[in-house]
Amino acid sequence: LLGCIAVHQMDYQTAEHHLEKAAFSGLKAQDLGITIMHLANINLRNKQKEKGLLWIAEAKKIPLPARQQSILKNLEKELHQIK
């Protein structure tokens, strides 16, 4: 919850910290998918290609709804465009 609030406030460093803790705390698959989307998006904003792609790879290991899969594919495409 704190990570989502920090994302909304555009405090990406704090958001990343809280979301990473949440990602390793045993969330349900759908909640984990949302958390990973936020983390990948933060890394895209910070132009951290490798770290963002690692989160995308983690997301591919869990069953996600089609909507989340679509968003992750778009994030992956944008991360690959970072030089």
Per-residue model confidence as pLDDT tens digits over 20-58: 999 888 888 888 889 999 999 999 999 999 999 999 999
* 75's tokens: 């994030």
pLDDT at 1 over 80: no
Q: If DSSP codes are grouped into helix, strand and coil, which group holds residue 38?
A: helix
How many other CB atoms sit within 10 Å of the CB of residue 15? 22
Rounded to two decimals, the pTM is 0.86
* Spatial separation of the C-alpha atoms in residues 83 and 21, rounded to whole Å: 28
Among 35, 43, 24, which residue's Cα sits nearest to residue 59? 35
Q: If DSSP codes are grouped into helix, strand and coil, which group holds residue 72?
A: helix
pLDDT band at 14 (very low <50, low <70, confident <90, very high): very high
- At residue 12, the pLDDT reads 87
